[in-house]
Amino acid sequence: MFAKLIIVLVLAAFAVGMVARASHGAGPERTYVVKPSDTLWSIAVSSYAGDTREGVWKLQQRNHLRSATLRPGQTIVLPG
């Protein structure tokens, strides 16, 4: 009886492992082309829910930005 229970549990764990998908956090990364009036703050407001300061920080970290200055036409990555 105990051996059957172990076999069923192992098969169930294997089945869950086969069906489960990998998590990629909040979603896939996207690219964004900076417009003339854009700032890190305005991009964070439109792209992230919650604390805008955290969105600005994520943008700076992901794009290796040393300052908050963006150039129109610059492509940045919006982390998921």
pLDDT single digits (tens) 16-36: 666 665 444 556 889 999 999
- What pLDDT does residue 13 have? 73
- Measured distance CA(25)–CA(70) in Å, rounded: 26
The count of other CB atoms within 10 Å of the CB of residue 66 is 6
Q: Is 76 left (phi over 0), alpha (psi -120 to 50) or beta?
A: beta
The topology (CATH level 3) of 25-80 is Membrane-bound Lytic Murein Transglycosylase D; Chain A (3.10.350)
| Three-state SS at 72 | coil
Phi, psi of 77 (to 5 degrees): -100, 130
pLDDT single digits (tens) 25-77: 556 889 999 999 999 999 999 998 889 999 999 999 999 999 889 999 999 99
- What pLDDT does residue 60 have? 96
Q: Is the pLDDT of residue 10 over 80?
A: no
The kind and range of the H/E element at 52 are: helix 52-62
